[in-house]
Structure 1
């Protein structure tokens, strides 16, 4: 429970300290006196994000300190421990937007502050009535009434559903990558096979091109040398230069007798020419025999095939360089290996996802049955409280409809309905007035099990729209709720404020607000003011005295 609240520089209040003693506490005051500053301070103590514009004018910093008494059943985070049941929460925030949150005097993040404050303090403003119009909020209220049984089942469903989504996401991710790999490496197997057949190294393309150029030059040289040799020897059928010279020498001997000195000289010169030509022919023959033209053509064809294959592979792979092709082949081999293994993985993920989906369906069906039983029980409890608040003609009911799909919260859409008199039930958002929503909210709070209620519940003018007998009866129900948790009520309704065990009033003098606890005669005067707007009116004082004595 909230035991003490101290604030500094919030709204119209420069400072205030409230020590709570009763179970049912009223905070009253004129409109604009500063009651909303108390509400804002309570909101900040509950973990709501601070707003710098709520810092008192002329000040740079605001502060809220709350002292709670924690029950032994409260589960605190490991890093937090209460001191003899006491828990101190403190928040400081400045106009520059910076803030600090403290628990037991130690600095902690706001997220942990919220976690600690949530089961200790809850604010119910007029806006809380609007929450009743939201289907998700209606579902949460119904589930809260179901207690631990439904909460445990919801947690199990949420876990199974989350795991199913993860498996389905994993499956979609694998299938997406499978498609990408198939599209990217459609021709990869043939590319890899051809790439391995030519086994290129990092500089193979330049080496092959250089070798091809040299082979082409060698073929050209070989061809020309063969032509020269053929001219020398005449080939297999023709007459070559050597044959011509030999014939010329024979003709010369016929003209000049070799027996003469001159003829002998010419014959020797002719023989020397023939010997030279024979040696030249033999040298060319040896040179040409070192590498046959057919070998050169074969090597040329082999290299051209490699280069052609390499260029084709680059085109098929969509790359420009051998380095890029090599990287492509490495990636392709790795991805194709992954692809082959992924089919087993996707099959397994698909099977697991289906299994989890079936389990989620089973849990959702079980949850629906428990919700249906809980709905009947909650209807009975709420209608009983509504009858006690002069709403005998109103019937509250709950319907569950199939969403047609399973979500982490189940497969049901929850609708709160109200029926008036002989009229058929309709959604509360269309049927209920503001006052009826206030009483319905209170009836639902009364129906919740103690474990679902915070230590302190703050109502900010939730009696709006109520008056007369309805307000009195709502007041009694608020007092009944105070038996379960401490109730702090910020109110303008005198009949409800008179029921409180402890009473604070917020007043304003000039531009400054202050708050104090009132008792006895001061309380009579405050109730009289709330009844008539005039503290000196004897009839109002008499009426206030009667209300306080009841």
Structure 2
């Protein structure tokens, strides 16, 4: 709740400190005394968009400081935590403004943006007046208000979750259908390409092997003659025969050489072994040069087929096998696409049924809550001297969405037989004030920690009706905090705390001041509200009666 408001150099306020209390706080004063300035100043520190010329004439800057007390579970703590600000039991907002319009704000002594202030404002203060700038008149807010009244937040969350699942299933089906349509557009290509690749059956590394074999076969004729001559040179008519003769001749004289030929014989033995290996290699390679004359043509045909198919698909020959597998997978997906579409369609149908089920339960709960709200409003409108008015919560079908399938509108008929319509089009100023107050009483069923401000919501009513308005405001203030700007003595008399706003003129300078009223001073203020500038004894007596509740 709002505990302190410190205003310096704002409009006609030079310095003002206010300490508000729990319960019903009333502010009274003559028209033009500056009551609206207090709301302008509070709105300024809360980041509300309002008038720009707030700085008092001649001042270097204007400043407003607001101190709130917040409970451990107050929603302002979540806003502070998300924005990275420290949170404690006290929340201090400070904002300054220069004559040029530059604004700077702090939250708990840390610089803050206007957006952070406005987010805090949404959970700290709620302003109501005949203009209803918090949205009670806006049909776009009525559905959420009805849900809050009926305690349907959990069911509404279930609808949101079911809608999310339905949307997810719809996206999956749509994406699968798009993919299938894309694949169907290339079905002929896929089937032809896979068949062509399967027929050729390319293998990794095959192109290099074929190229090597082809070059070998192309050079075979010339190589074959040279290899034959090499084989003859190494054979019995050549190196092998001479090497055998040399070994035989040396063996005949070894006994008489006294070991002098041992090294030579060992070398010849090694040479014999190496020569045998050379002969074997030459003969083996010669065997490779023996092939069917048609083999060269077959090898070239396959090599050219591999290279041509690789160029066709824009890949390397070694990548053809992998391409075949990729295209085959896409073709399998195409062939199985119809089954997948059926599965996804079934999943969407199940999600749709689940959504419709929970949305139907929410619609039924809203209908029941609407009946209770209409009864509660009828109960509240009677004491406000509007017993002939009819408030109706209208529910109509709308497009499905995350909040269900219902459109909710609050409508009224001010007199029996009169056509019903939106609040702000049917009700007069005084009637509208009472409708809004009754609606707020019905909708406020727990203490959210909000400070509620009512700006002359009692305008246009008096007597017993004004007393009924005051009693509804006092009931709203129980266990919380309500600030009321009022011209009604009946409402002022019901306040737990009373401030008087007055305007002073000194040396040609006008300033506004706000003073808390003691019990005796409250009598004079209520009497002034009853009788005007001249306060009579009868007016004081009537004020005492109002203040005593008689």
Q: Give the TM-score band, short-chain normalised.
A: 0.5 to 0.7
CA distance in 1, matches of 2:174, 2:111: 43
Which residue is equivalent to 2:249? none
Which residue is equivalent to 1:456? 451
Name the CA shift for 1:415/1:323 in 2 (closer, same or farther; >3 Å).
farther
Match status 1:428 vs 2:422 = yes
8 A Cα contact 2:33 2:512, kept in partner: yes
Moved more, 332-341 or 187-196: 332-341
Which residue is equivalent to 1:222? none
Note the residue ranges of structure 1 that are not aligned, 5 or more in a row. Answer: 219-288
The correspondence of residues 126-275 of structure 1 with structure 2, limited to 5 A, is 126-128=130-132, 131-147=135-151, 150-183=152-185, 187-194=189-196, 197=200, 199=202
For residue 186 of structure 1, report the CA deviation from its aligned partner: 5.9
The correspondence of residues 470-481 of structure 1 with structure 2, limited to 5 A, is 470-481=465-476
The correspondence of residues 27-426 of structure 1 with structure 2, limited to 5 A, is 27-43=27-43, 48=47, 53=52, 56=55, 59=60, 62-68=63-69, 70=71, 77=78, 86-92=89-95, 96=102, 99-102=105-108, 118-128=122-132, 131-147=135-151, 150-183=152-185, 187-194=189-196, 197=200, 199=202, 302=302, 305-306=305-306, 309-310=309-310, 312-313=312-313, 349-403=344-398, 405-423=399-417, 426=420
Which residue is equivalent to 1:518? 517
CA distance in 1, matches of 2:320, 2:63: 66
Give secondary structure in 1 for the equivalent of 2:484: strand
Superposed CA deviations along residues 287-344 of structure 1, whole A, max 9, x for unmatched, are xx99999777666655655565455546xxxx9x999999987975676677678777
8 A Cα contact 1:450 1:484, kept in partner: no
For residue 70 of structure 1, report the CA deviation from its aligned partner: 2.8
CA distance in 1, matches of 2:429, 2:111: 42
Give secondary structure in 1 for the equivalent of 2:52: helix
Superposed CA deviations along residues 443-477 of structure 1, whole A, max 9, x for unmatched, are 12222353265442111222344355543432232
Which residue is equivalent to 1:234? none
For residue 480 of structure 1, report the CA deviation from its aligned partner: 3.0
Give secondary structure in 2 for the equivalent of 1:122: strand
Name the CA shift for 1:348/1:115 in 2 (closer, same or farther; >3 Å).
farther
8 A Cα contact 1:101 1:109, kept in partner: no
8 A Cα contact 1:63 1:93, kept in partner: yes
Q: Aligned Cα RMSD in Å? A: 4.9
8 A Cα contact 1:463 1:493, kept in partner: yes
Note the residue ranges of structure 2 that are not aligned, 5 or more in a row. Answer: 220-288
8 A Cα contact 1:188 1:329, kept in partner: no
Name the CA shift for 1:125/1:328 in 2 (closer, same or farther; >3 Å).
farther
8 A Cα contact 1:3 1:69, kept in partner: no
Give secondary structure in 1 for the equivalent of 2:27: strand
CA distance in 1, matches of 2:339, 2:111: 50
Match status 1:547 vs 2:546 = no
TM-score by structure 1 length?
0.67
For residue 387 of structure 1, report the CA deviation from its aligned partner: 1.1
Superposed CA deviations along residues 217-271 of structure 1, whole A, max 9, x for unmatched, are 99xxxxxxxxxxxxxxxxxxxxxxxxxxxxxxxxxxxxxxxxxxxxxxxxxxxxx
8 A Cα contact 1:138 1:415, kept in partner: yes
8 A Cα contact 2:201 2:321, kept in partner: no
8 A Cα contact 1:396 1:419, kept in partner: yes
8 A Cα contact 1:126 1:462, kept in partner: yes
Give secondary structure in 1 for the equivalent of 2:382: helix
How many pairs align?
A: 465
CA distance in 1, matches of 2:492, 2:418: 36
For residue 369 of structure 1, report the CA deviation from its aligned partner: 2.5
